[in-house]
Amino acid sequence: METIDDGRLLRIYVGEDETVAGQPLHEAILELMRRRGLAGATVIRGMAGFGRSSVVHTARFLRMSEDLPVLVEAVDTAEKIEAIVPELDELIADGLMTIEKVEVHLYRGSG
């Protein structure tokens, strides 16, 4: 990916326990992004959070197995992000997806 002015930041918030076809949902999302050639993606496990149900999920010692929030982020061109949205919509039964306009000032990598 070249340095671009018209980039998009895609954020997907799901629960750690969400699955699709027996696979963790965040892993399925990450693999879809890789197959579709996005520049890169990151999965971040949250310490605490709540969603539509307003049930707080936390990583406190006595509640380590709770369904923690997971965030999948990817930055790429508007075209690539917009192209993957319909597939993500089909994949995600329970979660939140946001897209923001971003300016990419630096993107370097080996290989």
pLDDT of 56 > 70? The answer is no
Give the pLDDT of residue 109: 72
Judge contact between 71 and 43, C-beta under 8 A: yes
pLDDT of 59 > 70? The answer is no
Task: Report how far residue 15's alpha carbon sits from residue 33's, in angstroms, rounded to the nearest whole number.
Answer: 18
Q: What percent of the chain has pLDDT over 70?
A: 80
pTM for this model (two decimals): 0.84
Strands (E), the chain: 7-15, 19-20, 23-24, 41-45, 48-49, 57-58, 69-77, 96-102
- pLDDT tens digits, one per residue of 68-106: 899 999 999 999 999 999 999 999 999 999 999 998 887
Q: 3.30.460.10, 3.30.70.120, 3.40.50.2300, 3.40.640.10: which CATH number matches 7-102? A: 3.30.70.120
